[in-house]
């Protein structure tokens, strides 16, 4: 039996997340204070009392979700979590940065600054309205990939952005191509296609300008070896040292988030059968349940969840 911690990505945010935890535990409050200082603004005010549209802006959502995840992670440690019980970490898209921070590859201050730059660079890479993303329900990533070729679609204009689980794939790219491919998929077996309310076509080739900017940003950051191994989104390698980490994060901007395969690797290669999602929401726990059999999932964002989780992990 082994344990993995999962960190959520963009879309899990909500107003008020982490507020009660920060009011209760100084160690959690200090995370938000450090992120505010790193960004030279009160991001915590937006998270706890702001407008949801402002929080949802990519430049705010990315560091906000990371801050909540790290507040929960540090709360777990302060309440007695035995990190020796954790075999591996993984994060979905921006959640990978939370995993890097939790494992000590980046400092919290650097992670906040990187994610603010990541959000801004992704937002400006494609003019508003020119890109799109859509969730495809009822088809596997393999089938979607097959239909991409069958329909003769330009892979530079539309591609698989997220392989989330056996029943959910997200496509991304140029707006017209995404719309045409969505219709083609619906006509060829997809149960449902859902246009996503996003401001940019994340994890597509159109994000190449953002990948270049992220390369420049990350080259200025000090990397350390991870204290806990991390399964990487794009190449599925298990990061045991800092070698290869920089290029993987650059590739992640335009590459497919291979989340379903990451879960399988953790289960089969690392013998993980307990998956702990920490941070806002329970999206990743759902993907685990739809991907793997005979495993357990736990989610924690508030103090009562944290204490229950520690009891289970430390057994």
Delimit the domains of the chain by residue range. Answer: 2-125+206-313, 131-198
What does the pLDDT average to over 152-178? 97
CA distances for 218 relative to 110, 158, 163, angstroms: 10, 27, 25
May I ask the CATH architecture of the domain 2-125+206-313? Answer: 3-Layer(aba) Sandwich (3.40)
Q: Percent of the chain having pLDDT more than 70? A: 100
What does the pLDDT average to over 15-33? 97
The CATH topology of domain 131-198 is Alpha-Beta Plaits (3.30.70)
Task: Enumerate the active-site residues.
Answer: 93, 203
Confidence of residue 95 (pLDDT cuts 50, 70, 90): very high
For 208-228, how does the pLDDT look when each residue is reduced to its tens digit (9 = 90+)?
A: 999 999 999 999 999 999 999
pTM of the full structure: 0.96
Alpha helices in the chain (DSSP H): 19-24, 26-39, 43-49, 52-56, 58-78, 95-102, 108-125, 141-150, 175-187, 208-219, 245-254, 259-269, 283-291, 303-313
């Amino acid at each position: 039996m082994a344990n993995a911690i999962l960190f959520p990505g963009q879309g899990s945010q909500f107003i008020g997340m982490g507020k009660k935890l920060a009011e209760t535990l100084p160690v959690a409050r200090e995370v938000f204070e450090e992120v505010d200082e790193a960004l030279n603004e009160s991001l915590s005010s937006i998270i706890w009392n702001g407008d949801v549209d402002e929080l949802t802006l990519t430049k705010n959502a990315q560091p906000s979700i990371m801050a909540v995840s790290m507040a929960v992670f540090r709360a777990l440690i302060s309440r007695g979590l035995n990190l020796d019980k954790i075999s591996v970490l993984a994060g979905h898209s921006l959640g990978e940065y939370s995993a890097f921070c939790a494992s000590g590859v980046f400092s919290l201050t650097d992670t906040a600054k990187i994610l603010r730059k990541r959000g801004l660079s992704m937002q400006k890479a494609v003019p508003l309205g020119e890109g799109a993303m859509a969730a495809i329900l009822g088809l596997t990533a393999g089938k979607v990939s097959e239909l991409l070729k069958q329909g003769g679609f330009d892979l530079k204009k539309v591609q698989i952005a997220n392989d989330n689980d056996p029943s959910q794939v997200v496509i991304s790219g140029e707006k017209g191509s995404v719309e045409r491919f969505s219709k083609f998929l619906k006509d060829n077996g997809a149960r449902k296609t859902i246009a996503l309310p996003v401001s940019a076509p994340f994890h597509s080739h159109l994000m190449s300008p953002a990948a270049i900017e992220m390369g420049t940003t990350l080259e200025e950051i000090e990397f350390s070896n991870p204290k806990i191994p991390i399964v990487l989104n794009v190449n599925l390698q298990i990061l045991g040292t800092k070698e290869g980490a920089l290029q993987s994060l650059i590739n992640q901007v335009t590459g497919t988030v291979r989340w379903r395969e990451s879960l399988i690797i953790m289960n089969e290669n690392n013998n993980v059968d307990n998956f702990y999602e920490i941070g806002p929401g329970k999206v990743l726990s759902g993907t685990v349940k739809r991907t793997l059999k005979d495993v357990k999932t736990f989610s924690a964002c508030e103090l009562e969840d944290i204490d229950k989780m520690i009891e289970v992990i430390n057994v």
